[in-house]
Amino acid sequence: MRVLVTGANGQLGYDVIDRLEKCGIEHKGAGSKDFDITDKQKTIEAICAYHPDAVIHCAAYTEVDRAESEKELCYVVNVDGTKNVAEVCRKIDAKMIYLSTDYVFDGKGETPFETDSSKAPLSQYGLTKSLGEDAVMAVISKYYIVRTSWVFGINGGNFVKTMMRLGKEKEQLQVVNDQIGSPTYTFDLAKLLVDMLHTDKYGVYNVTNEGYCSWYEFAHAIVRKARLSCEVKSITTEEYPTVAVRPLNSRMSKKSLDEAGFDRLPGWEEALSHFLNTK
């Protein structure tokens, strides 16, 4: 098998490349300097030249707040760029994994969202990722759409690294307690993505580490496990306004994973410990 990874320099792409190397799978990582996914012709040329059996599409516009003022750029990358990649995958009969997000949902209620729950994104980022899903499903049949949330990993910036940095600089951290979801460790997610490629179990999957928590509980666990002395104070979303609206409920059901016979990821606290011990 030959695998192309877009967004290879990003947080998830880094761990996907690492996993492919460990598994001895032929692969190539591509960043924005290699080819621009929003340029259809260059995307066709670059992917066809390598002619992979599968593409793991990690490249995306992910600046959630900035997307509200850069709506067109966010759309072009997450929708048009994704469609370009999907069309090349169809052309060369390659499988495609598209990484999506809990932000495709409206965050209402407390019940975990199923893979077929109605989508109603609250932000431009969520909207474009939802439309990216639609584009993939409309273009090809050999797809795995993987929705994830609260991602952290060894490469790049993330909530865990931010809390650790601020925890050393400040005596108190204020973190929202009414947004509930599941952290996802890219090391664990990358394993599952590579496993998926060895199957023809196409479809939509919700994939996070097991267990739910609030951002406050996540921050408290980070501070405790990292043995930092700062206090973590809980506040409401209303007390911490952001440019883009965040979903209050990011719980997602793993039913489709179970039905396909894929192993769930480890618990998020176990994943956090692994991350902190790896750094």
Mind listing the pLDDT tens digit for each residue in 120-178? 999 999 999 999 999 999 999 999 999 999 999 999 899 999 999 999 999 999 999 99
Q: Assess whether pLDDT exceeds 90 at residue 4.
A: yes
Mind listing the pLDDT tens digit for each residue in 21-47? 999 999 999 998 899 999 999 999 999
Res 193: pLDDT: 98
C-alpha–C-alpha distance, residues 138 and 84, integer Å: 12
- The residue extents of the domains of the chain are 2-157+182-209
C-alpha–C-alpha distance, residues 237 and 4, integer Å: 39
Q: Assess whether pLDDT exceeds 70 at residue 59.
A: yes
Mind listing the pLDDT tens digit for each residue in 162-186? 999 999 999 999 999 999 999 999 9
| 185 included as an active-site residue | no
Can you tell me the mean pLDDT for 90-108?
Answer: 97
Of 129, 41, 130, nearest in space to 91 by CA: 41
Question: Are 98 and 143 in contact, with CB atoms under 8 Å apart?
Answer: yes
The model's confidence at residue 278, banded by pLDDT at 50, 70 and 90, is: confident
Catalytic residue among 61, 98, 125, 144: 125
User: Given the structure tokens 């059901």, which residue do they identify?
Assistant: 253
Mind listing the pLDDT tens digit for each residue in 174-232? 999 999 999 999 999 999 999 999 999 999 999 999 999 999 999 999 999 999 989 99
Res 32: pLDDT: 85
Of 144, 143, 152, nearest in space to 181 by CA: 152
Q: Does CATH place domain 2-157+182-209 in 2.40.30.10?
A: no
Res 279: pLDDT: 63
Which token pair is 224?
């405790």
Sequence-distant (≥ 6) Cβ neighbours of residue 83 within 8 angstroms: 132, 135, 136, 139
Sequence-distant (≥ 6) Cβ neighbours of residue 16 within 8 angstroms: 5, 8, 56, 58, 186, 190, 193, 194
